[in-house]
Structures are given as C-alpha cells and as structure tokens.
A and B are shown apart, each in its own frame.
Chain A
C-alpha cells in the first residue's frame, strides 16, 4: 500500500493564480481531511469528507474548495492564491469517525509570491 500520497511536493504560485493540490489514498478509508501548517503553529483543518460526495468545512475553509467524487481522491482547490495561503498542506485519511488515528501524506509546500 502506498498509503496517502500528495502531489506536488513543492509549488510556487503568483498572487491570483489557481491550482489544485492532489491527494489520494489506497486504504479504502471513508474519512479524508485537508490541513495546513503555518510556521510555529499546529495543523489547522481546512475541509474534511466523510465519504464520496460529502464534504464539510473545517476551522479555516476560506479561499479553498474541495470535492470528493471517489473514495480514493480528495483534491483541494485554491482559486485566487494569496500570500496568506503560503503554508505546508497535509492530506490525511482515517477508517471512520470512531477511528481517531489519521494517516497523513508527506505534505505539499506552497509559496505564494
């Protein structure tokens, strides 16, 4: 099993550009999550999904969109990149709400200039 994979590993965007961060998992997990980690801060939840076709906002959803068309994939979309979105983004998945342990991908380091 590859676990949770994320692409790209690094990306530099100009203000106003858009991009999609890809996330995939091969563990047949229902729950998937997107977090961002700013320097010196903990991870903050952006969006999560409890299954294909179902998504919900987390703590810091503004400026982002998600979709969940399949169990495996959970892409994160930035429509109009802003410097405040410079961060490291982590995707994670878990078996269910009752299984609290989350499996994380390696992260995407995004810089918006």
Chain B
C-alpha cells in the first residue's frame, strides 16, 4: 500500500521560475515530513523537513507547505536553478516508520 504518493513522475521548469513538487499521504499517524534530493549514482540527501505542528517551513530558496486536513505537502523552489535538477523524494514518518514516495524528477532548463 502506497501511503505516500508523488503523482507527478517528472516536472520541467525554466531557470528562474518556481518549481512546485507535490506529495500526498494517507496515514494520519505521520507526524514528520521530509524532502530528500537525489542525484544519479548517489544516495538521497536531506533537503528540508516540517513537523505536523507547523504548516510552513522555509530554508533559503526552499519552502515546504503542509496541509494536514488535505494530507498534502508541497515543496516550492524559488528561483529554480539548473543545479536543482534531480529526483526529489517526499517522506513521512511516525516513530521509526519512514515511508517514501516514488519520487519526482525535476529538470530545470537554462
């Protein structure tokens, strides 16, 4: 059962524009949400996270929004840069149970 879903396998944006990556979850017990970034032939690296007690967390060009009633979170990247091109994984956790989405491949065109 896919408890964390990223329905867009890929996204292409122009350099300088906003990238919005979306993620939906089904388990209301999840209390912490993370975004990881992955380049080819490397392991995922942590990008940004948010606790369920917040609805927004910002770190430089990256902002994560959480809508608990809709069980939806999104990652905004502004402005997008070519170096942001990677696969982005959404993850949700409850205690030691961490579930990942299938990932969205972001391509930022110069």
Contact A102/B46 with A42-B101, A43-B89 known, Cβ cut-off 8 Å: yes
Residues 73-113 of A at the B interface (beta carbon under 8 Å):
90, 92, 97, 100-107
Total A-B pairs in contact (CB under 8 Å)?
55
Report A-chain residues with C-beta under 8 Å of the C-beta of B59.
none
Interface residues of A (CB under 8 A from B): 4, 31, 33, 35, 40-45, 48, 50, 56, 58-59, 90, 92, 97, 100-107
Interchain CA distance A42-B104 in the complex, whole Å = 10
Interface presence of B93 (CB below 8 A): yes
- Would B100 and A42 count as touching, CB distance under 8 A? yes
With CB as the reference atom, state the residue of chain A lying closest to B92: A100
Contact A92/B103 with A42-B89, A101-B34 known, Cβ cut-off 8 Å: no
- Would A106 and B49 count as touching, CB distance under 8 A? no
Report A-chain residues with C-beta under 8 Å of the C-beta of B98.
33, 45, 100, 102
Report A-chain residues with C-beta under 8 Å of the C-beta of B100.
35, 42-44
Contact residue among A41, A50, A102, A104 (Cβ-Cβ distance under 8 Å from B102): A41
Contact A42/B97 with A90-B44, A101-B46 known, Cβ cut-off 8 Å: no
- Size range of the chain B interface in the assembly: 20 to 34
Quote the shortest CB–CB distance from B7 to chain A (angstroms): 13
Report A-chain residues with C-beta under 8 Å of the C-beta of B89.
42-43
Query: Which interface residue of B34, B95, B97, B98 has the most chain A CB atoms within 10 A?
Result: B98
Interface presence of B69 (CB below 8 A): no
Interface presence of B4 (CB below 8 A): yes
Interface presence of B45 (CB below 8 A): yes
Interchain CA distance A45-B91 in the complex, whole Å = 12
- Would B44 and A106 count as touching, CB distance under 8 A? no
Contact A100/B49 with A40-B102, A50-B96 known, Cβ cut-off 8 Å: yes
